[in-house]
Structures are given as structure tokens and as C-alpha cells.
Amino acid sequence: MESEYVTTPFGRRPMSLGMLLKQRRGEAIEAGTRRNKWKLFRSVCEARAGLGVSDRALTVLDALLTFFPDDELSGEKGLVVFPSNMQLCLRARGMAAATLRRHLAGLVEAGLISRKDSPNGKRYIRRNREGGVDEAYGFSLAPLLARATEIETIAARIAADRQMLRAMKERLTICRRDIAKLVSAAIAEAIPGDWEHVSSMFHALLQRIPRTATLESLQPILEEIETIRLAVVKTLESREKTQMTSTNESRIERHIQNSNPETTSESEPGLETGQEARTGSREPGIAGKDGEGSRAIARANAGGSKSFSLATVLQACPDIVDYGPGGAIASWRDLMTAAAVVRSMLAVGSSAYEEAASVMGPEIAAIVMACILQRGGRINSAGGYLRDLTRRAERGEFAIGPMLTALLRARDPLSHKPAPRPDDGNRAVLKRRRDRSPCQAPPCPIRTG
């Protein structure tokens, strides 16, 4: 019935083609369209910015909806309400009449309601004999129902934009916090980098953030700030990786390429020198003769002894010195400490090392770790190799002597003779051999030429 009705404004209000088009578009309700009036009103409130209405105009629309008797709006029902201005003012929280008229005009202009003026401009209803509505004059809610789908779409988009804006502000806050604290930490720890330039760029971006932020204004700023944060994080991570690489890889490369290791006296100051060899000085807790090189190792290994001087071990395995306390090894305790560091670096399990120390003894286990380190890349799995040696030691099939001998010879490939000894030590050995009886002659007699 209302879709066929066209009305012009009462009184001095002018008529325009735009008003006619809005009225006709607002009355074009699709068949079967139904909406709960309060849910639709909440959608209108959500889409207020997109519809171009004020919050006070929504108060007037709320009051108009209270005059519609049913909760459901549909095209089959009459959608015209006809309250007086006095009743509208009361339901609009006591709004002034002039303000009420202004906001009613705003709702009409926004296309949410339309006027259906009577011949004399009054709002009333004419009923038929059966008591039904024959004609009603007032404000039509048909445009609100006709635009229900559009209003709900606008409301959903605005709600999604609001949620995105909230998430964007949260990301921006986190980025600001991360950059500020990471740059402060980098400056405090003296990490190389142009941190002043980064800080100035960061503060310049913060100055561009508007007081009332929108998705369009905040998106490019957030992207630039996230780029700065990513650059800062990458700089710090590369610094950490560089430190780890310089700590591990440089040592390994030095172990492989170093052809001029420290001398025995430098590796073991005060423990293995020529003077101490002549005076018979000994490392506490270690038996055997010092300064006899590979031949002393061969004799000890043949006799089943595990007594070797610390100087001999360091001469065969100089790379272990770098891992001692302060970069030096002055005692067997220092050697065992360095072996624990090497175990961790070579990814040898603590259980494997503890088992080796239990079977071989802590000193021999430390010597084995030094030998494994010295052999470097020739051992694929240090942990598996150590476990294999431990099993062989349990069966009595392993001795440390041949391993040290091979390393000593590898350091001097042009000679298979033992390392040179002090002259005094040689003379003492020759004298002892001459004093022996024929039945005590050594296995390899020395020719006197």
C-alpha cells in the first residue's frame, strides 16, 4: 500500500527531485524482508558514521521505533508511526521541540525515514469499519527496512575496521616498546651500529602518528616502524651469531691450521722444563720419567702404565691449551677443566664422558678428549668415538700411549725419532744403560760405533 504512495511536504517546505527519488527508493521493500526493529537499530548505531547521522538523531529514531507496536518490521504491516511532537519529546529524553524537528529532518535527509504528511500536516490514523488501519499519516519506517541489508553490511564493515584498528594500535604499541628497549640495550652494551640514526628515524615516525588515528593513516606508519624493528632485531641477531662463530669456528680453524704451537715450557710453566727434568721434579700424583717423549710413552704403554707427564700430553695435543682457565693449562686439574669445555663444544654427551672417566680414570679421559680435539675433522662423531674407546678400555684393549705417540709423530713427520731431550738427560740415560748387567740389557741396544 505504501509503495504506491507519493507525498509532497506540507506547508512551505519545498519539494525536490532528490526527495522524490529517496522516497521511491525507500519504499521499494523486497518481498519477505523482515527484521527485528531493535537489532536493526543496533546496526544503525554501529553504522552511524557511514550513514551520516548524529547520536542525537539516533535518540529520535529510537523514540520513533517505540511507537511501532510490534518488534518485527515487515512490508506486510503498516510502517507509519504518528506520534505527536510532545510524545516524541518525552520519549527522546526530554529533547527540545526545535532540536527534535532538526533531527527529524536529519533522519529524512539520511534516508532512514520518510514523511507522509496529511492534507493539514497533522499526524493521525484513519480506521475502517473493521477497526483496521485505512490510512495513516506521520513518519514511515519503510526506508529503514528497505535499507536493512545495506545498513547491516555497513555496520559489519565498520565493526571489522574498528577491530583492525584496535589490533593495529596494539601492534604499534608493541613495536614502539620493542624498538625503544632494543636500541637502549644495544647502546648500553656497546654493540656496533648507527643507533643514533635509528633512534632519530623512530622518533620522526612517532611524530607522524595522528591524534585521531584511522586505518588509512596508521597503516603506512606501522609498516615503517615494523621495518625498523626488523632491522634492529636482525642487527642484534647477526651480532650474536658473529660472536658465537668467532668463539667456535675460529678456534677450530686455528686447531687445524696452526703449525707453530706453544712450546712445552709455555704450555706447562714450572712443571716440565729441562732443569726440572734434570733435578727429577714431578707433577704431583703422576709417576714416570719426564722429558722422554714418545719413547717414554711407548715404554709406559708396553708395560700397561697410564702415567704420562702433563708436558708430554700438551706437546702432543697443544690445541687443548686454548680451552684451559685463562687460556693456559698448568695442572692436571686445568686439563680436566679444559676437557669438560671441549666435551661440550664437540657435543659429547655428559653420560659418555662420565662413563669414560669412570672406566679410564679422570686424567686419562681428559687426555682422550685432548687427542680427539687435536685430530679435529678426522673424527666424524666424537661422542661415538669416545664410547667405543671406553668399551675397548673395559675389555683391556685400549691404551693411551699409541694415540699420543701418533700425535707426536704427526707433529714432526720428517723424523720418527722421539722429541729431542736435554743433553743432560741423554747422558744420564746412556750412563744408566752402561751400568746395567748383560741380562738387563735394553731390548734395543745403543751402538757405540
pLDDT digits (tens, 9 = 90+) for 381-405: 888 889 899 999 888 888 888 888 8
**How confident is the model over 130-164, as pLDDT tens digits?**
777 778 889 989 899 988 999 999 999 999 999 99
pLDDT for 180 equals 92
**How confident is the model over 206-258, as pLDDT tens digits?**
999 998 888 899 999 999 999 999 999 988 888 766 655 545 545 554 444 44
- Where do the domains of the chain lie? 2-146, 162-256, 264-440
Q: How far apart are CA 424 and CA 277, in angstroms?
A: 9
Match 519529546 to its residue by C-alpha cell: 89
- Provide the b/e sequence for 104-142 (b: ≥16 CB within 10 Å): bebbbebbbbbbbbbeeeebeeeeeeeeeeeebbbbbbb
Q: Which pTM value belongs to this model?
A: 0.48
Lowest mean pLDDT segment, chosen from 36-40, 312-316, 374-378 = 374-378
Other C-beta atoms within 10 Å of 82: how many? Answer: 16
Q: How far apart are CA 34 and CA 53, in angstroms?
A: 23
pLDDT for 436 equals 47
pLDDT for 27 equals 67
Lowest mean pLDDT segment, chosen from 30-34, 52-56, 300-304 = 300-304
Greatest mean pLDDT among 12-26, 171-185, 282-296, 422-436 lies in: 171-185
* Percentage of the residues of the chain whose pLDDT score is greater than 70: 70
Give every CB contact of residue 129 below 8 A, 6+ residues apart in sequence.
none
Cβ-in-10-Å burial (0-12, 13-18, 19+) of 68 comes to middle
Is the pLDDT reported for residue 278 higher than 80? no
Give every CB contact of residue 154 below 8 A, 6+ residues apart in sequence.
46, 47, 50, 51
Greatest mean pLDDT among 9-13, 181-185, 398-402, 444-448 lies in: 181-185
**How confident is the model over 67-116, as pLDDT tens digits?**
999 999 987 777 899 999 999 999 999 999 999 999 999 998 888 998 88
Q: How far apart are CA 333 and CA 424, in angstroms?
A: 30
Q: Write down the CATH number for the domain with range 2-146.
A: 1.10.10
Bridge partner list, 114 = 140
Among the listed residues 214, 192, 408, the one whose alpha carbon sits nearest the alpha carbon of residue 292: 408
Bridge partner list, 81 = 139
Mean of per-residue pLDDT scores for the chain: 76
**How confident is the model over 180-214, as pLDDT tens digits?**
999 998 888 888 888 889 999 999 999 999 988 88
Say which amino acid occupies 272: E
Strand pairing category for 133-140 and 124-127: antiparallel
What three-state secondary structure class fits 73? strand
Is the pLDDT reported for residue 430 higher than 60? no
Q: How far apart are CA 375 and CA 116, in angstroms?
A: 100
Q: How far apart are CA 283 and CA 271, in angstroms?
A: 6
pLDDT for 10 equals 52
